[in-house]
Amino acid sequence: MDHFKLRKDDRITSSVSSFGLAIGLKPTGKHSAITDCCWSSTGKYVVLGEGSILKIWERTLQGSPSFKHLRFRGHSKKITSVAFSSACDVALSVGEDCTVRVWRPSILGKSAWFKIHSARINHIEMASNGTDFLSCSDDKTIKLYRLSHADEAIATVTFVTSFKGHSNWVRCVKFSPDGKLVYSVGDEGLFRIWELASGRLLHSFARAKGDCKYFDLSPSGLFIAAGVGAEVLVYDTRNCLLKDSLTLPGPVGRIQWHESGVFMTVACSDTIRFVSFANNHLSVDLRVQTPDALTALQFGPGDMLATGDVTGQLALWQFRYRPVEEEPPSPVADAEDMSVAVPPMEIRDGVVRVAVKSQETLPDQLSQSITALEKGVKGMVGMLRVLESRVGAIEDTLACS
């Protein structure tokens, strides 16, 4: 695993202060490309689809890099997407055989299966409640199901509603962060926004030309990041307008926002890219080259990132996220006189950058800062003089006694 490396021209941003390979997981034997991967909410399990086989890596001890490997067979065709329900403690997988399978993560390998579409299922998305999930298919529909289980059964899948309106294959579907809306993209070249409760189509808007097989919503729900061909496109969900685009040297595979909403990771060929989104502008901050082409990617708990590639290699990466925050001013004797508006600063490439609204406001702000600093120094000098006089008085008293 020593040939995972940072590119020489890369830099660590103010958001990601360190990044490195934690562990590579790949059992011996013949392997297929990893089609998808996901984490359980606790980080105990990493679930992945490899061909028609579901694999679950279970952490043997919390905080330990030691994992044990579980391997499950049941799908008759390739698995296309996986998810994990923390509420029911089960893994879910969908595939080209039009079924969803629910697996108990144990050595017994028990599962239940349900046919939920009439054509290949492309994606499954679990809601934050851990019971509802969405699926989208080549049958041009999106369906909402509810997962439940009794003590004697692995799980029961109940149909809730369907969303119809796409005129071509539906590639990806997502819940909004508040759970009230559904977002989807299809091969007809449209993003669609649905109301979850009624299944009603609220709005649709065109994307740039090219295949879009995956997109992700920002944690705030305000932006969509989509991989279209070799471009990363960010749309504003409030007005459905394109905010910015970024062209990469190869086709964009998986893409996911970090929970901070400050940056995202993009799988592009054999490279992981950390892409920041600040002031409605996309920029590549960090690139990590991998030995083989990446096919799966997802953030996990505790600043972890899982990636899968065409050889069946699962890699778990550890990074450190450092939010950019302004430090509070130091306490001084006269706080009211020192309340000066200081422009925000950020350190990048070893250079301190100060963000100001315009060049005309800079002298005034500097003048205010200098004036406030002078007042603070004068106050400190006064306090030192008072302290010096008190020490002198104490020394005189001791000398007389």
What is the gyration radius of the CA atoms in the chain, in angstroms? 27
- Which three-class secondary structure state does DSSP give residue 388? helix
Q: What is the DSSP string of 206-234?
A: E--SS----EEE-TTSSEEEEEETTEEEE
Let me know: does 256 contact 297? Beta carbons within 8 Å: yes
Show Cβ contacts of residue 136 under 8 Å, excluding neighbours closer than 6 positions: 121, 122, 123, 142, 143, 170, 171, 172, 173, 184
How far apart, in whole angstroms, are the C-alpha atoms of residue 296 and residue 124? 14
Parts of the chain with a pLDDT under 70: 1-15, 17, 28, 62-65, 150-153, 208, 323-372, 374-375, 377-379, 381-383, 385-386, 388-401
- Burial grade of 61 (CB within 10 A; 0-12, 13-18, 19 or more): exposed
* pLDDT tens track for 131-161: 999 999 999 999 999 998 755 567 889 999 9
Identity of residue 238: R
How far apart, in whole angstroms, are the C-alpha atoms of residue 1 and residue 374? 56
* pLDDT tens track for 315-361: 999 888 776 554 444 443 333 333 333 334 343 443 334 343 333 34
How far apart, in whole angstroms, are the C-alpha atoms of residue 167 and residue 88? 34
Instruction: Specify the length of the chain in residues.
Output: 401
pLDDT value at residue 271 = 93
CA distances from 123 to 63, 120, 204, 246, 286 (A): 30, 9, 20, 25, 28
pLDDT value at residue 351 = 36
Which position has the token pair 């007809």?
188
From the list 179, 178, 168, 228, the residue with the least C-alpha distance to 204 is: 168
Let me know: does 361 contact 369? Beta carbons within 8 Å: no
From the list 145, 226, 263, 293, the residue with the least C-alpha distance to 234 is: 226
How far apart, in whole angstroms, are the C-alpha atoms of residue 334 and residue 97? 72
pTM beyond 0.95: the answer is: no
pLDDT value at residue 321 = 75
How far apart, in whole angstroms, are the C-alpha atoms of residue 245 and residue 231? 7
pLDDT value at residue 4 = 46
How far apart, in whole angstroms, are the C-alpha atoms of residue 366 and residue 373? 10
User: How does DSSP classify residue 330?
Assistant: P
Which long-range contacts link 198-206 to residues 24+ away (Cβ below 8 Å)? 199/144, 199/161, 199/162, 199/163, 201/163, 201/165, 203/240, 204/165, 205/235, 205/240
Percentage of the chain lying above the pLDDT 70 cut: 73
From the list 42, 22, 26, the residue with the least C-alpha distance to 300 is: 42
From the list 217, 136, 123, 135, the residue with the least C-alpha distance to 177 is: 217
Show Cβ contacts of residue 18 under 8 Å, excluding neighbours closer than 6 positions: 12, 319, 320
pLDDT value at residue 240 = 92
User: How does DSSP classify residue 181?
Assistant: E
Helix (H), strand (E), coil (C) string for 31-48: CCCEEEEEECCCCCEEEE
